[in-house]
Amino acid sequence: MIDVMLASGDLIKLNQETHPGCYLHRSDPDDVARVEHVTFICTTERDDAGPNNNWMAPDEAKSRMHELYEGCMKGRTLYVIPYCMGPIDSPLSRCGVEITDSPYVVANMRMMTRMGSAALARIERDGGFVRGLHSVGELDPKRRFIMHFPADRLIQSFGSGYGGNALLGKKCHALRIASTQARSEGWLAEHMLIVGIENPQGEIHYIAAAFPSACGKTNLAMLIPPSEYEGWKIWTVGDDICWMQPGDDGRLWAINPEAGFFGVAPGTGESTNPNALAMLNQDAIFTNVAVTADNQPWWEGKDEEVPVTDWRGNSYTSGAGSAAHPNSRFTVPIRQCPSYSEQAEAPRGVPISAIVFGGRRERLVPLVMESKSWQHGVLLGASMASETTAAATGQVGVVRRDPMAMKPFCGYNFADYWSHWLSFADRVSNLPPIFHVNWFRKDRAGNFIWPGFGDNMRVLEWMINRCSGQVQARETAIGSVPHISDININGLDAGISELEALLEVDTAAWSEEIEQIREYLQQYGDRLPERLLQELNKVTAQLARVA
């Protein structure tokens, strides 16, 4: 496939001395991110898709797609990709087949999924699979649709060759279709990383964390702890998607359905994410990054070297905007990550000690808080909001509601999804605590207050100490926050006063926020679970009491 693409110009060889087996793909300049406005959930009843999704009637969607697909493979090679999401022998895994006319999709799916004969054999055992039909068409943004038919376990995608629009195993299957399957079968398909944190005693706690696109999942999944954390180790199980199921022991067990990373390049540097840099020195595909004079891949935040060619292939002079596209990405097998965990292949998955939600919020939202119960944790997830990023087309930096980081990915009505989440409290005996984090608070000058990246370890440690009951917390109306003395600040490049600011809960501002959350939730009308409203009312009452 690489040879096919080198011959067609779809791939360009990068410097094979510094980066053996690495290639660059330049996408069409109008095809650089997910396209949420033309992504649809096609259910017979509009309400089953919910206010969180674009909806189209299945018959109408199929006839539109049929028209677009007409003759699209003429003169092209049609590839059939049998793939398995999750370890081949895991009962939690699910299979699919993608048909595509894009060699780039084939090469990426090979790294992102378990594809090929093992997957085909499993499909024969399972007797069923998710069907995905994809064509790049003419890459015309006006003739582009990503359609999902949950009842048929069918995906139809046309007009884009990019990431989540085209690698159908990823967001289309493993989140949108899988979330509907998970609901009916009693499990969860989530936009979460999975990371193991090993303490000096050799105990490993696995944490699953949901942050919206380009809000830090890949980075947290492979962080390197500060030097003060001698004897601690980080194990990467997954960086984007997590499927979780209750085990016999009443805990939640999780697998990463993917086999590779399709990660954000900008911001990946020696000081921020050295593990990612180390895995990108060989056998990786780069999409829409810039190039140096000696043909090495480059992006903003990669400390060394200077770019001479931008992501479009034009010559670049410094100061002329970004050289790499803000949503430029790398594709690489997960096994190349220095912190790769063999547990990523464990058929039963890993037991989850804590669930974390988080968003990108300049103001208001504290560095970390803990929910008071599962029910309150579900409210924390449902109340999430985050500044938009370049991972999807549209305006960047505007705060939008993004419950559980699933706004673009939940294949059904959010009200029913929250009911599903709440139902776990009725039938799972040993649920993990739920936390909420925000690495992205800014000061008046517009700088991040919290150093983030490796230093996020300090927050993870507090969570683990909470899980094992080793530290107390300060109760506030919106959740429990750490006592400053319980956060390890040895060697931290921020002081007590910064930490106080990061953990402050502004009652007046939160009262306003809660009203906005209430307004948002009210859109879901009668379908909104009563228990979520009760929880919201509790928070409102507590805020009024302390005001």
Which residues sit at the interface with ligand GTP, rule CB under 6 A? 211, 213-219, 239-240, 263-264, 266-267, 272, 391, 439-440, 448, 452-453, 456
Question: Which of 283, 259, 31, 257 is closest to 141 using CA atoms?
Answer: 31
The answer to whether the beta carbons of residues 367 and 346 sit under 8 Å apart is no
Q: Is 356 helix (H, G, I), strand (E, B) or coil?
A: strand
Is 72 catalytic? The answer is: no
Q: Tokens 């106080």, residue?
A: 500
Asked if 407 touches ligand SPV (CB under 6 A), the answer is no
Place of tokens 């650089």: 32
Pick from 171, 183, 361, 372 the residue near ligand SPV by CB under 6 A.
Answer: 171
Q: At closest approach, how far in Å is the CB of 240 from Mn ion?
A: 4
Residue 239 binding target from ligand SPV, Mn ion, ligand GTP, none, CB below 5 to 8 Å by type? ligand GTP
The partner in contact with residue 34, picked from ligand GTP, Mn ion, ligand SPV, none with C-beta cut-offs of 5 to 8 angstroms by kind, is ligand SPV
Q: Is 465 exposed, middle or buried (0-12, 13-18, 19+ CB in 10 A)?
A: middle
* Options 170, 302, 360, 376; binder of ligand SPV; rule CB under 6 A: 170
Q: Which positions from 345 through 404 interact with ligand SPV, judged by CB under 6 A?
A: 391
Measured CA distances, 229 to 54, 100, 234, 362, 492 (Å)? 46, 47, 11, 28, 12
153 touching ligand SPV, by CB under 6 A: no
Counting residues that bind ligand SPV (by CB under 6 A) gives 9
Q: Which is nearer to ligand GTP, 96 or 454 (CB)?
A: 454
Q: Which is nearer to ligand GTP, 49 or 264 (CB)?
A: 264
Q: Which of 22, 215, 242, 337 is catalytic?
A: 215
Tell me the closest approach of the beta carbon of residue 404 to ligand SPV, in angstroms: 13
Candidates 214, 178, 209, 179; CA nearest to 194 is 209
Residue 163 touches which member of ligand GTP, ligand SPV, Mn ion, none, C-beta under 5-8 Å by kind: ligand SPV
Complex with ligand GTP: residue 300 or 513, whichever CB lies closer: 300
Is 199 exposed, middle or buried, given 0-12, 13-18 or 19+ CB atoms closer than 10 A? middle
3-state SS class at 306: coil
User: Per DSSP, what are the bridge partners of residue 12?
Assistant: 24
CB of 175 to ligand SPV, least distance (A): 9
Kindly state whether residue 34 participates in binding ligand SPV, applying the rule CB under 6 A: yes
The two tokens of residue 122 are: 């499993």
The answer to whether 265 touches 299, Cβ cutoff 8 Å, is yes
CA torsion sign, 299 to 396 to 313 to 328?
positive
Site for ligand SPV, rule CB under 6 A: 34, 163-164, 170-171, 213, 240, 262, 391
Please list the active-site residues: 215
